[in-house]
């Protein structure tokens, strides 16, 4: 009789073990982990940037809305509205004779019709939040000394504001509008530091709109000027 021969199979090859991770698999896993960490970090950084830039974007958008509103108003026809630098050149509507700071009747009438455009912009939600002031800036030609023209440019700015308070009747601003002018308008002078090619164009006034900065807090409302008399020029 033949004896039975039993052949003992060897154990599974180590490569077939389900617990064995090859070097390439390990590198793939580490790469995926690295990509996940990078994605999480990128999202976190993006969110931080969004938090930082969002107020800037909102402020810029609000200012653009204000300047667009002013530029597109029918009363701004013939007026140079610089929406990038927040300046309004009144053009030929308000010009001065050499050495003079007198506002003629026609120019005064134009100013009283135009200034409410700026007051309406101030009364918008964007304007109430961001418009700080409107500076009336006077300019001169190069004739005369620096100090003489500095005073003359200031007088021209002041004359513009004075003309808003002088009219009576249908052409006059309302007491409420005048109160807003008192709170919002400032005057400044440039002497001949910003002359143009033509002397007549240099003898002008411009409105410069100033806006609050992001880190600046709006002053608390006060009634100090409520009963303050306007006075006379």
The region of weakest confidence among 22-31, 51-60, 67-76, 198-207 is 22-31
pLDDT in the model for residue 137: 93
pLDDT in the model for residue 180: 93
CA quadruple 170, 174, 178, 184: dihedral, nearest 10: -110
The Cα 79–Cα 92 span in angstroms is 8
- Return the axis-axis angle of helices 146-166 and 175-184, rounded to nearest 10°: 150
Q: Using the predicted structure, report yes or no on whether residue 121 has a pLDDT greater than 90.
A: yes
Residues whose CB is less than 8 angstroms from the CB of residue 233 and which lie 6 or more positions away in sequence, other chains included: 158, 159, 162, 165, 166
Q: How many Cα atoms are found within 13 Å in the side-chain-facing hemisphere of 206?
A: 21
The region of weakest confidence among 2-11, 86-95, 130-139, 153-162 is 2-11
Report in angstroms the alpha-carbon separations of 54 from 68, 112, 212: 21, 38, 16
* Of 116, 87, 63, 96, the residue nearest 200 (C-alpha): 96
How does pLDDT run across 96-109, given as a tens digit for each residue? 999 999 999 899 99
The Cα 143–Cα 56 span in angstroms is 43
Q: Using the predicted structure, report yes or no on whether residue 140 has a pLDDT greater than 70.
A: yes
How does pLDDT run across 165-213, given as a tens digit for each residue? 987 777 889 999 999 999 999 999 887 777 788 888 888 899 999 999 9
Residues whose CB is less than 8 angstroms from the CB of residue 73 and which lie 6 or more positions away in sequence, other chains included: 117, 120
pLDDT in the model for residue 88: 95
pLDDT band at 47 (very low <50, low <70, confident <90, very high): low
pLDDT in the model for residue 23: 61
Percent of the chain that is helix, strand, coil (3-state, to 5): 50, 10, 35
* CATH superfamily assigned to domain 50-211: OmpA-like domain (3.30.1330.60)
Q: Which two tokens stand for residue 35?
A: 């990509």
- Written as one string, the DSSP assignment of 55-67 is HHHHHHHHHHHHH
pLDDT in the model for residue 233: 85
How does pLDDT run across 1-39, given as a tens digit for each residue? 455 554 455 555 555 555 455 666 667 777 887 777 877
Contact 117, 75 (CB under 8 A): yes
Q: Tell me what the mean pLDDT of segment 67-73 comes to.
A: 95
Q: Give the residue, 222 or 10, on which the prediction is more confident.
A: 222
pLDDT in the model for residue 130: 95
The Cα 122–Cα 38 span in angstroms is 46
């Amino acid at each position: 009789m033949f004896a039975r021969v039993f052949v003992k199979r060897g154990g599974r090859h180590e490569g077939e073990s389900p617990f064995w991770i090859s070097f390439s698999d390990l590198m793939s896993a580490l790469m995926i982990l690295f990509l996940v960490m990078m994605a999480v970090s990128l999202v976190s950084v993006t969110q931080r940037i969004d938090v930082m830039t969002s107020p800037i974007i909102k402020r810029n958008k609000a200012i653009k809305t204000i300047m667009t509103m002013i530029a597109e108003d029918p009363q701004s026809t013939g007026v140079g509205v610089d929406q990038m630098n927040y300046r309004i050149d009144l053009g030929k509507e308000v010009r001065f004779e050499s050495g003079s700071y007198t506002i003629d009747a026609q120019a005064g009438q134009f100013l009283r019709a135009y200034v409410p455009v700026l007051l309406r912009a101030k009364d918008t939600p964007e304007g109430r939040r961001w418009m700080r002031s409107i500076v009336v800036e006077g300019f001169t030609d190069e004739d005369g000394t620096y100090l003489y023209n500095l005073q003359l440019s200031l007088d021209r700015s002041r004359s513009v504001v004075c003309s808003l308070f002088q009219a009576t009747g249908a052409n006059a601003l309302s007491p409420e509008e005048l109160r807003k002018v008192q709170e919002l308008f400032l005057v400044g002078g440039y002497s001949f530091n910003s002359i143009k090619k033509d002397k007549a164009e240099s003898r002008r006034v411009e409105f410069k709109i100033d806006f609050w900065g992001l880190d600046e807090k709006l002053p608390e409302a006060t009634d100090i000027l409520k009963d303050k008399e306007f006075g006379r020029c």
